[in-house]
């Protein structure tokens, strides 16, 4: 008898991955499609929601047309996606133009009007700051890369779209709207709007004072549900487009960071995981609500019922590798932009292995699009430092990989302080985990064992499927770790300790000494 399955949809910045996953977490099939990213002057970053849906339909039909399991055995759809985006839609659910995604910072100049006052602490009026921190755990970022800033940007610079918008939807919730016709958000996806009272993790709701502080109109925001709740079934149109039955259920789903936390198998309190994809993060579940405003991280509602996780994110990680491949070393056929990602990461690993640990003290700072944590500064930029006539591209590629790891070590210091203990080890997921060398570099730079999970690229779709399976009563949370095996453990190489300690110190000095210059050049 065929296993019951969940169709998991993971909408990343580069495009969606769609997978057929059993309720036990086995990935039977997966397909990937690409979508276009539109960058513009002034910090603009947009994508076309119709392009998202086209790509999802294409990838899904390639799976469902194979008839790997009977249609009735695909019991649900669960979505995860990029977070902190804004899709304005009309009453019929049609997108009113492109989505503003998490990289967009054009609304930063309007955040002070809702966050500030005559007296300011770190840019915020004291009473507003206290209210946000006490109720939500965080505050609207002054960097402008969150929905509050997006919506303020639309109000000021795209008033025709703002007025026509019936609802402003997160990307995940927009996809659920396309699936079910329902205007809903989950209590975790809405968290980065900073308008919900999260003090009672089991009773999260919009807060009138927070809505007034952010000036977000409640009637333009969707109603709330939980990630594990069944929110409906497929519309007839969506069923036909995806090749599924109309009675297929749709669960609330969750954004990418909480999905990865679940899909990594690190679901116990203080069990950490590291993700390296286009962006990166290092996080874990915690049993408390807490905020570290200095390092821009906080306890946020998890996809798992009654749980918090540490919310943070670093803007560019794997994107640094893509940038090097496509813009610096693209003349080499093995690193050609048209080459498959797995070929590129393998070739990068081969080249980087030719350079010694520490890359002869060449240091790369990976801030190609600013940074979010442990500092929120959209003006920071990437650079290679200490380059000499002896520097080769092998040094530069390895320095890029090490620079991303230094950035993670910078973040890890804030996270370990937040949770009050060091990580005993970290589960590693995402595209970066495919590189043997990068796994070892992270172990050496962080001085922590790195556990690469099996099939690390499927962590997000696996996490979405687990959330669906928990919601459908097919799986218990405590069962999840045993469904995510560790493929290999990488232990820190003691011979590299002093080298990486010295270079990490220099990495922090570069950030400190160059921040004022970057602010001046890019503000």
pLDDT digits (tens, 9 = 90+) for 260-308: 999 999 999 999 999 998 899 999 999 999 999 889 899 999 999 999 9
Assign 346 to helix, strand or coil. Answer: helix
Mean pLDDT of 431-451: 97
If you search the block for the tokens 């919601």, which residue do you land on? Answer: 471
Kindly give, in sequence order, each residue whose CB lies less than 8 Å from that of residue 464, ignoring residues fewer than 6 positions away.
6, 8, 9, 10, 21, 78, 79, 80, 253, 254, 259, 263
Q: What is the CATH number of the domain that holds 119?
A: 3.30.420.40
Angstrom distance (rounded) from CA 505 to CA 499? 10
Eight-class DSSP state of 53:
H
Q: Which structural domain, as residue segments, surrounds residue 129? A: 5-252
Mean pLDDT of the chain: 94
Asked if residue 88 belongs to a domain, the reply is yes
Does one domain contain both 385 and 499? yes
Task: Quick: pLDDT tens for 387-409.
Answer: 999 999 999 999 999 999 999 99
Same domain, yes or no: 136 and 225: yes
- Beta-strand ranges (E) seen in 187-317 are 196-197, 205-206, 223-225, 230-233, 249-251, 254-255, 272-276, 280-283, 285-286, 291-292, 297-301, 308-311
**How confident is residue 333, by pLDDT bands cut at 50, 70 and 90?**
low
pLDDT band at 342 (very low <50, low <70, confident <90, very high): low
Choosing from 195, 226, 252, the residue where a domain stops is 252
Domain end, chosen from 232, 252, 272, is at 252
The last residue of one of the domains, among 252, 269, 284, is: 252
Give me 404's structure tokens: 């991303």
**270 lies in a domain?**
no
Is the pLDDT at 316 greater than 50? The verdict is yes
H/E stretch holding 17 reads strand 15-22
pLDDT band at 1 (very low <50, low <70, confident <90, very high): very low
For helices 497-522 and 436-446, what crossing angle results, to 10°?
90
CA 156 from chain centre, in angstroms, equals: 27
Assess whether pLDDT exceeds 90 at residue 376: no
Q: What are phi and psi of 309, to 5 degrees?
A: -140, 165
Residue 429 lies in a domain: yes
Q: Are residues 42 and 175 in the same domain?
A: yes
Is residue 194 situated within a structural domain?
yes
Distance CA 292, CA 192 (A): 15
Q: How confident is the model at residue 485 (pLDDT cuts 50, 70, 90)?
A: very high
pTM strictly above 0.85: yes
Judged by DSSP in three states, 90 sits in coil
Question: What is the arithmetic mean of pLDDT over 331-340?
Answer: 61
233 lies in the same domain as 330: no
**248 and 322 inside one domain:** no
Beta strands in 177-241, from DSSP E residues, in sequence order: 184-186, 196-197, 205-206, 223-225, 230-233
Residue 54 domain-assigned (yes or no): yes
Number of domains in the chain: 2
469 in a domain, yes or no?
A: no
**Residue pLDDT, tens place only, 55-99:** 999 999 999 999 999 989 999 999 999 999 999 999 999 999 999
Give a yes or no: residue 143 inside a domain.
yes
């Amino acid at each position: 008898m065929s296993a019951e399955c969940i169709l998991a949809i993971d909408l990343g910045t580069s495009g969606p991955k769609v997978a057929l996953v059993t309720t036990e977490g086995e990935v039977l099939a997966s397909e990937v499609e690409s979508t276009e990213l539109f960058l513009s002057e002034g910090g603009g970053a947009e994508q076309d929601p119709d392009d998202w849906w086209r790509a999802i339909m294409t990838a899904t039909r390639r799976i469902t047309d194979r008839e790997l399991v009977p249609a009735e055995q695909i019991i649900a759809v669960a979505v995860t996606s990029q977070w902190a985006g804004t899709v304005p839609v009309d009453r019929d659910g049609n997108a009113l133009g492109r989505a503003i995604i998490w990289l967009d910072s054009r609304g930063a100049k309007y955040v002070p009007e809702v966050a500030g006052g005559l007296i300011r602490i770190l840019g915020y009026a004291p009473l507003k700051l206290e209210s946000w921190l006490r109720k939500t755990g965080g505050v609207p970022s002054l960097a402008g890369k969150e929905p509050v800033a997006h919506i303020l940007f639309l109000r000021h610079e795209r008033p025709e779209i703002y007025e026509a918008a019936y609802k402003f939807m997160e990307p995940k919730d927009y996809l659920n709207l396309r699936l079910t016709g329902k205007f809903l958000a989950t209590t975790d996806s809405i968290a980065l709007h900073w308008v919900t009272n999260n003090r009672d993790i089991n009773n999260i709701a919009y807060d009138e004072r927070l809505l007034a502080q952010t000036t977000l109109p409640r009637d333009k925001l969707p109603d709330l549900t939980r990630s594990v709740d069944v929110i409906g079934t497929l519309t007839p149109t969506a069923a036909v487009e995806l090749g599924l039955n109309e009675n297929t259920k749709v669960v609330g789903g969750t954004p990418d960071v909480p999905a990865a936390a679940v899909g990594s198998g690190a679901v116990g309190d203080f069990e950490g995981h590291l993700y390296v994809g286009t962006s990166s993060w290092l996080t874990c579940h915690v049993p408390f609500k807490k905020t570290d405003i200095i390092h821009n991280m906080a306890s946020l509602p998890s996809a798992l019922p009654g749980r918090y996780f540490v919310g943070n994110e670093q803007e560019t990680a794997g994107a640094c590798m893509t940038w090097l491949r496509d813009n610096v070393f693209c003349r080499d056929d093995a690193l050609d932009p048209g080459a498959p990602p797995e070929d590129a990461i393998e070739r990068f690993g081969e080249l980087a292995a030719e350079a010694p640990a520490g890359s002869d003290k060449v240091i790369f700072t990976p801030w190609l699009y600013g940074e979010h944590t442990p500092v929120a500064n959209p003006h920071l930029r990437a650079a290679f430092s200490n380059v000499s006539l002896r520097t080769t591209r092998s040094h530069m590629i390895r320095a890029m990989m090490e620079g991303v790891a230094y950035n993670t070590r910078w973040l890890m210091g804030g996270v370990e302080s937040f949770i009050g203990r060091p990580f005993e080890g970290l589960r590693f997921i995402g595209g970066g985990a495919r590189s043997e060398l990068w796994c070892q570099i992270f172990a050496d730079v962080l001085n922590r064992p790195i556990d690469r999970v099996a099939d690390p690229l499927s962590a997000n779709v696996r996490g979405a499927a687990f959330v669906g399976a928990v919601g459908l009563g097919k799986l218990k949370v405590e069962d999840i770790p045993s469904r995510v095996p560790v493929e290999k453990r990488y232990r820190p190489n003691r011979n590299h300790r002093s080298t990486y300690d010295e270079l990490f110190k220099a990495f922090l000095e570069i950030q400190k000494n160059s921040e004022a210059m970057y602010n001046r050049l890019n503000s």
